[in-house]
Structure 1
Amino acid sequence: MKAVVVLTMAVALAACGGGDRRSNDRAPVTRLSSGPISSACMASPRKARSRQLCGCIQTVANRSLSRSDQHLAASFFADPHRAQEIRQSDNFRHELFWEKYTEFSGNAEASCG
């Protein structure tokens, strides 16, 4: 399952496109943001990272994750195993977070990759 989380993050980091966000959350992103996910993305050792890609992912995060959720998601860049721990946790808050995170990952992939 660790591979699934790492793959999800890799797909989200693959590339960022342009477009218009008016139709839905999966629309391509034109405005790029800075924040905890963008910072973690830029600090990651992935070759595919760029300001454009990391800013795109942050923009999607701003649409779908609270600030505290963004900080938790950002921790996955440095510690992918942490994502596995959260996903498997019996903690109700972690379960709610994982649902939002899964939706965020799909939206980031559709908008940025």
Structure 2
Amino acid sequence: MKNLLILGLALTLAGCGGYHKAKRDSGRSAPRSISGPIAITPSASTTVISAPASKPFANGPLQKACISSDRKARNSQLCGCIQAVANRTLNSSQQARAVGFYRDPHSAQEVRTSDRPGDERFWETYASYAETAKRTCS
């Protein structure tokens, strides 16, 4: 939400000529109408409209495993987004290990409950990846 507000304000400034023009016109008593992609008028409630952000997309092992899985929610856009997030958060060996969770979901539970330090480190990284993918791709 904060990013949308900042984007809206930046577009508004760009539409009205920026800071200097606003400073120069600040001596006027009547409010000016702003022309441009977004118009903000002084009122109790302000609405900012923005175009939907496109989700990232990538091809790779998790994208292929996702597409070939039997999950109902799978589609090309979602699976590509999941891969793009994985590319930013997991190294190649971690991605290969995560691919196994699509074939055998129970193995994820075994790793999650494991007491081995390597499994615990992997699960912490994987859980962070999954949360980021959920926020980014939903």
Task: Tell me whether the two structures share a fold, i.e. TM-score over 0.5.
Answer: yes
SS at match of 1:42: helix
Instruction: Give the TM-score of the pair, scaled to structure 2.
Output: 0.60
SS at match of 1:77: helix
Which residue in the other structure is 2:135 paired with?
A: 110
Q: Give me the identity figure in percent.
A: 47
**Equivalent runs, 1:14-93 vs 2, <5 Å:** 19=53, 30-93=55-118
Which residue in the other structure is 2:33 paired with?
A: none
Which residue in the other structure is 1:15 paired with?
A: none
Q: How many matched pairs?
A: 87
Question: What's the CA shift for 1:47?
Answer: 2.0
Q: Which runs of 5+ in 1 are unaligned?
A: 1-17, 20-28
Give the Cα separation in 2 of the matches to 1:30 and 1:41: 16
Instruction: Give the TM-score of the pair, scaled to structure 1.
Output: 0.72
**Higher alpha-carbon Rg:** 2
Give the Cα separation in 1 of the matches to 2:56 and 2:109: 30
AA partner of residue 103 (structure 1): S
Residues 35-67 of structure 1 deviation map (CA, whole Å, 9 limit, x = unaligned):
111111001011211111000000001111111
SS at match of 1:30: coil
**1:99 aligned residue (104, 124, 129):** 124
Give the Cα separation in 2 of the matches to 1:64 and 1:31: 13
AA partner of residue 60 (structure 1): V
Stretches (4+) displaced over 2 A? none
Give the Cα separation in 2 of the matches to 1:30 and 1:112: 7
Q: Which runs of 5+ in 2 are unaligned?
A: 1-51
